[in-house]
Structure 1
Amino acid sequence: MEQWIEAQDFIAADVIRWKEGVFHNRRKGKALRIGERQVAAEVLERGEDGWIKLLVRGCIVTKDEAAGKTVQTLKAGEQIRRAIKTVLRGKVERLLWDDETARAAVLASKPATSRFTDIPNDE
């Protein structure tokens, strides 16, 4: 049974899900919001530049707001790239690991790269 918890941060190998708005670009003016989708994806790589690579596991349309415009779902197995701040804006949830102590061991073995920790200078 899968259990999702609210996540403030995530690491590679986590499976996360979030909601993101879908927009249609117009020739003039602001983009038009046409709906919303919920994406579940596995974190493949977390870059130092604020971007993450994700492998889509599932995607469903949660809102279809504009008549005549269809919200495209992402296909399972597709690799996507998103900004970390964009994903965190969408109420991120993390799938609990079968063995959370293994996740804690992975976190302990890596240097602190969380967005909440400061890396001390050796100067």
Structure 2
Amino acid sequence: MIRWREPIWKPQARMSKKPPTMLGFRTITGQVLKLDRYGWAHIQVAACTIEPLPRCTRPLYPLEVGKPVRRKRDKIGQGRIERLLWSDESARDAILASRRPRKAT
């Protein structure tokens, strides 16, 4: 499970010359389903909260819980990503140890 914060931008026309407008922030908590070889992280949303900026007049909606989302790994890292702790960290260490390739002797 990870948590990160990302900006919410106002939708614009494709070839618009106006600078983008930020409407607020979205804090997403989710379970990483997979990381593909193209740099995308597939995440199932567990919780989502919205923090609109004071000047934002349009309604902002959180992402639906349980729906998968796809984000670039680089962009998630820019949002001060946190790995949520397991209730039993020793179990996590055992799982990671079993997935590591063994060195040939």
Please state which band the TM-score falls in when normalised by the shorter chain. 0.7 to 0.9
* Deviation of the 1:49 alpha carbon: 1.6
CA contact (8 A) 1:44 1:54 kept: yes
CA contact (8 A) 1:64 1:71 kept: no
Instruction: Name the residue aligned to 2:63.
Output: 74
Distance 1:104 1:82 in 2: 26
Distance 1:96 1:50 in 2: 24
Q: Which runs of 4+ in 1 moved over 6 A?
A: none
* 1:22-61 mapped onto 2 (5 Å cutoff): 22-27=8-13, 28=16, 29-61=18-50
Instruction: Name the residue aligned to 1:10.
Output: none
Unaligned runs of 5+ in 2: none
- TM-score, normalising length: structure 2: 0.82
Identical-residue share of aligned pairs (%) = 31
Q: Which amino acid aligns with 1:22?
A: I
Q: Deviations over 1:60-119 (max 9, x none)?
A: 11233443222221011111001111111101111111221221122222247xxxxxxx
Judge which range, 77-86 or 28-37, deviates more.
28-37
Counterpart secondary structure, 1:86: helix
Judge which range, 71-80 or 26-35, deviates more.
26-35
Counterpart secondary structure, 1:55: strand
Aligned length: 98
Unaligned runs of 5+ in 1: 1-14, 113-123
CA contact (8 A) 1:20 1:38 kept: yes
| Structure of higher CA gyration radius | 2
